[in-house]
Amino acid sequence: MVPEAPTLSLAIPLAREGLAPALDRIEAFLVARGAAEGVRYKVRLVLDELLANLMAHGRFAGPPPPIRVEVAARQATVLLLLEDAAEPFDPRLAPDPPGPPSLADDRLGGLGLPLVRRMAEIRGYRRLPEGWNRTELAISAG
Amino acid sequence: MRFDIEELGPTASKVILVGRLDSTTVGGVETQFTAAVVAPGRSAVLDMRGLEFLSSLGIRLLLSVARVISRRGGRMVLFGTRPMVAEVLTAMALEEVLPMVGTEAEAVARLGA
């Protein structure tokens, strides 16, 4: 999957109670590899957004199997690989909201994926032969 | 995630946020937070110094509360926002809706602006 870097592999149950411990474990992995605080924040944010999005909107053929996550720390960049069994969804194609929210409008949702795109580079998406989505992201400081 | 409220006078409250406001915590505070912060004619300053983490669901809650306060004649201003939380709000171009200043005094002054 992600070569030549210390890698952490996790299977994260798609349930709110499983998310915080998994994110804590990923953070500890990144701390041990010297990842900067800003990078760690972005990693946690991107995973929180993508997994919350799957919980809210992912459509599965049956009970959702755990999401497969790989985290690789490579110098100043963290590479994330997510695999899920939901219906096909390419996060690169989701539209941005028409403009920033205002006090006058009633728009509330739809901020998650735009935020992911601002905090991470989505390096790839493809549908695996087994019928899973595979999304690759890179997160750097700055 | 937890919050405390202090009265700043007849028309404003200070809300102190501590912890993480994300997909795993928003549901546990959403109703209480909204009910506690929103009151007719009252404004709020949010003490963000203890808020370690904010995700889009947390933003959604803050946005919702800011709108209700605004429609009831008040304002909401954030102060002491940590750098990464501020970066998230700025990245989403939310400075107009959720204005951020450095100190509590500046936030209170901004309420009257």
Q: pLDDT by residue for chain A (142 residues), tens digit each?
A: 544 568 999 999 999 888 999 999 999 999 999 999 999 999 999 999 999 999 999 999 999 999 999 999 988 899 999 999 999 999 999 888 888 888 888 777 789 999 999 999 999 999 999 999 999 999 998 7
Helices A37-57 and B56-71 sit at what angle, rounded to 10 degrees?
A: 80
Residue holding tokens 């030549």?
A4
Q: What is the mean pLDDT of residues B48-59?
A: 97
- SS3 assignment, position B9: coil
The Cα–Cα gap between A47 and A41 comes to 10
> Nearest residue on chain B to A118, judged by CA atoms?
B91
What is the percentage of chain B residues whose pLDDT exceeds 70? 99
The Cα–Cα gap between A42 and A45 comes to 5
> Nearest residue on chain A to B20, judged by CA atoms?
A20
- SS3 assignment, position A86: coil
**Strand order from edge to edge, sheet including B100-101:** B2-7, B12-21, B43-54, B76-79, B100-101
Give the number of C-alpha atoms closer than 13 A to the C-alpha of residue A53, restricted to the C-beta side.
24
Q: Report pLDDT for A104.
A: 85
pLDDT digits (tens, 9 = 90+) for B66-105: 999 999 999 999 999 999 999 999 999 999 999 999 999 9
Q: Report pLDDT for A27.
A: 96
Q: Does A93 touch chain B (CB under 8 A)?
A: no
Q: How many CB pairs under 8 A join A and B?
A: 68
* Minimum-distance CB partner of B64 among A55, A108, A115: A108
> Nearest residue on chain A to B26, judged by CA atoms?
A16
pTM greater than 0.90 (yes/no): yes
pLDDT at B106 over 60: yes
